[in-house]
Amino acid sequence: MAKLNFGGTLENVVTRDEFPLAKAQEVLKNEVVAILGYGVQGPGQALNLRDNGINVIIGQRKESKTWDKAVADGWVPGETLFELEEAAERGTILQYLLSDAGQISQWNNIKKHLKPGNALYFSHGFGITYKDQTGIVPPADVDVILVAPKGSGTSLRRLFVAGKGLNSSYAIHQDATGNAYDRVVALGIGVGSGYLFETNFKKEVYSDLTGERGSLMGAIQGLFAAQYDLLRKRGHSPSEAFNETVEEATQSLYPLVAENGMDWMYANCSTTAQRGALDWWKKFRDAVAPVFEELYDSVEAGNEAKLSIDSNGQADYRVKLEAELKELRESEMWRAGKTVRSLRPENAKVAEEV
């Protein structure tokens, strides 16, 4: 473990320099890692672990699309692919990667297969933090650990294949064996983390729910929609409004931020753009700060967890979800986006010379 200075604050981080893959393989050499759930995080983590030489099996509901996806990814029924409970029985480390709703509904079925000395692994602090609502309370004789990649399972896999890594947080909620630290860090390295930073289950879920509702998804969609609608109302075409709102941001500017930071992106834009951005960013910060305060308070109070659990538990949840996603998909802004994406050089059809 190393201590790095982040803006004057020292944080515990782990990199491959002090915990190389060979060490992770040694720690996990006698473990059977059972990936329970093959939906969002499951495939990326499972495939990366397998490619890194870790003994992995999959637990998934049979007769499902995700079962078929697991087979297509090379997992063999009866050898490395099993029903959830059989995989849980076979595993020594159970990576509980079902959706939050799935974790709640399957908990009693999984809990009975946990043996003393096993590890129960999460990639989200939801189930443990909101245990009064989820009912997920692990037995005292198992390690309870977390590795939370800061991105989708798809991104985790793509970066791994490209020889890169996705940063992850790690946490230890319960160290029953005395080996929880080595286990969690080995798994973090094994799933393809760039580096690992320390947190706890509560901070992970609070920051995660805030981020998803805020700058990662909810707030950014709201910001895009507000600017796009304004430009259209003021007479700009759909193509112009989308390009100035979304396309330039995602294709040109955000990659520069990712490369070297916001100041570097500013420095690589026109002086007019720099001046305007510097003049206006604090106004936007001050405008949305009260909304973020309200959002964090709602997360901390458990209201967001309750809303999620209640909605996911409704029989018509999928129907309602599709209706909401359809509203996004069929909005003018994202229909314009579909057309704009089709015209990118890598997607456009090149006319044959005649």
pLDDT of residue 350: 45
Q: Is 87 contained in some domain?
A: yes
What phi and psi values does residue 148 have, to the nearest 5 degrees? Answer: -120, 95
Q: Which residue has the tokens 């005395």?
A: 178
**53-64, pLDDT tens digit by residue?**
999 999 999 888
Q: Is 172 contained in some domain?
A: yes
Q: Is 352 contained in some domain?
A: no
Question: Does residue 230 sit in the same domain as residue 190?
Answer: no
Distance of CA 130 to the CA centre of its chain: 19
- Report the distance separating Cα 28 and Cα 20, nearest Å: 13
- Report the distance separating Cα 191 and Cα 120, nearest Å: 16
Query: Which amino acid, 344?
Result: R
Three-class SS state of 106:
helix
> Mean of the per-residue pLDDT values for the chain?
93
Q: In what order do the strands lie in the sheet with 93-96?
A: 2-6, 9-14, 193-198, 166-174, 143-149, 119-122, 93-96, 33-36, 56-59, 81-82
How many other CB atoms are there within 10 angstroms of residue 102's CB atom?
A: 17
Beta bridge partners of 2: 13
Q: Is 60 contained in some domain?
A: yes
Q: At what angle do helices 332-342 and 218-233 cross, to 10 degrees?
A: 90
- Report the distance separating Cα 131 and Cα 147, nearest Å: 19
Q: How confident is the model at residue 9 (pLDDT cuts 50, 70, 90)?
A: confident
Query: Which amino acid, 275?
Result: R
Question: Does residue 164 sit in the same domain as residue 308?
Answer: no
Question: Does residue 87 sit in the same domain as residue 195?
Answer: yes
Exposed, middle or buried by CB within 10 Å (0-12, 13-18, 19+), for 25? middle
Q: Which of 199, 231, 248 marks a domain boundary?
A: 199
Q: How confident is the model at residue 348 (pLDDT cuts 50, 70, 90)?
A: low
E strands in the chain = 2-6, 9-14, 33-36, 56-59, 81-82, 93-96, 119-122, 143-149, 166-174, 193-198
Q: Which of 199, 225, 245 marks a domain boundary?
A: 199
pLDDT of residue 352: 41
Question: Does residue 160 sit in the same domain as residue 264?
Answer: no
- Report the distance separating Cα 299 and Cα 293, nearest Å: 10
Q: Could you tell me the CA-to-CA distances from 26 to 182, 189, 319 in Å, in that order?
A: 10, 12, 47
Q: How confident is the model at residue 314 (pLDDT cuts 50, 70, 90)?
A: confident
pLDDT higher than 50, residue 353: no
pLDDT higher than 50, residue 177: yes
Question: Does residue 97 sit in the same domain as residue 123?
Answer: yes
Is the Cα dihedral 210, 93, 112, 314 positive or negative? positive
**186-230, pLDDT tens digit by residue?**
999 999 998 999 999 999 999 999 999 999 999 999 999 999 999
- DSSP-assigned letters across all residues of 200-228: -HHHHHHHHHHHHHTTTTHHHHHHHHHHH
pLDDT of residue 344: 85
Question: Does residue 257 sit in the same domain as residue 304?
Answer: yes
**19-54, pLDDT tens digit by residue?**
999 999 999 999 999 999 999 899 999 999 999 999
Q: Could you tell me the CA-to-CA distances from 314 to 250, 309, 349 in Å, in that order?
A: 35, 9, 44
Q: Which of 199, 226, 247 marks a domain boundary?
A: 199
Q: Is 192 contained in some domain?
A: yes
The residues annotated as belonging to the active site are: 124
CATH of the domain at 187: 3.40.50.720
Question: Does residue 263 sit in the same domain as residue 180?
Answer: no
Q: Could you tell me the CA-to-CA distances from 221 to 124, 229, 253 in Å, in that order?
A: 23, 12, 17
**Number of independent structural domains in the chain:** 2
Question: Does residue 60 sit in the same domain as residue 192?
Answer: yes
The residue segments making up the domain with residue 293 are 214-342
- DSSP tag of 292: H
Question: Does residue 144 sit in the same domain as residue 276?
Answer: no
Question: Does residue 131 sit in the same domain as residue 223?
Answer: no
Question: What does the pLDDT average to over 312-335?
Answer: 92
Q: Could you tell me the CA-to-CA distances from 1 to 18, 122, 159 in Å, in that order?
A: 7, 21, 23
Question: Does residue 156 sit in the same domain as residue 7?
Answer: yes
Q: Is 80 contained in some domain?
A: yes
pLDDT higher than 60, residue 283: yes
pLDDT higher than 70, residue 3: yes
Question: Does residue 34 sit in the same domain as residue 166?
Answer: yes
- Interacting residues of 333 by C-beta distance below 8 A, sequence separation 6+: 224, 225, 228, 229, 238, 241, 242, 245, 246
pTM (2 decimals)?
A: 0.89
Q: Which residue has the tokens 């399957």?
A: 106
Q: Is 205 contained in some domain?
A: no
Q: Is 207 contained in some domain?
A: no
pLDDT of residue 160: 95
